[in-house]
Amino acid sequence: MQQVIISVSKSYVHRGRRLRHRQSTKKRWQVYFYELDPTEGKYKMKTRRVNWLQAMYYKTQIRRRYKYYCTECGSAVFAYLKSRKAILECPICGNL
């Protein structure tokens, strides 16, 4: 399944309902990502606990959501890219 990593951070493992941590709890690395659901064709947000080495790898794979406008056909496209410098083709007219 296709995953888009959006964030990597440390969070408390056993926190209460109001998102405040309890005493003597530990922090663990967590990865926040969107996963493409094959049946619905939509992205769903999910989290997963990872170890330190995996967290450092996932930090290099973080993508951000950018909105691009095509100058020829006038359409707007949302894309998950590492930086704004990436070149994106328009899915409608195929122009760069």
What is the per-residue DSSP string for 11-70? EESSB-TTSPBPTT--EEEEEEEEEE-TTT--EEEEEEEE-HHHHHHHHHT--EEEEEE-
Instruction: Say which range, 14-18, 63-67, 88-92, has the weakest mean pLDDT.
Output: 14-18
Q: Are 68 and 57 members of one domain?
A: no
Same domain membership, residue 85 and residue 50: no
**Domain that residue 85 falls in:** 63-96
Answer yes or no: do 56 and 74 share one domain: no
Q: Note whether 10 and 31 are same-domain residues.
A: yes
Gap between the Cα atoms of 29 and 90, Å rounded: 36
Q: Which residue has the higher pLDDT, 23 or 10?
A: 10
Are 91 and 53 members of one domain? Answer: no
Tally of domains within the chain: 2
d(CA 81, CA 16): 34
Same domain? For 11 and 56 the reply is yes
Q: Which residue has the higher pLDDT, 1 or 90?
A: 90
Shared-domain flag, residues 69 and 53: no
- Computed from CA positions of residues 66, 69, 73, 74, in that sequence, does the dihedral angle turn out positive or negative? positive
**Whether the predicted pLDDT of 16 surpasses 60:** no
Q: Are 78 and 33 in a shared domain?
A: no
pLDDT digits (tens, 9 = 90+) for 30-89: 999 999 888 888 889 999 999 999 999 999 999 998 888 888 888 888 888 888 888 888
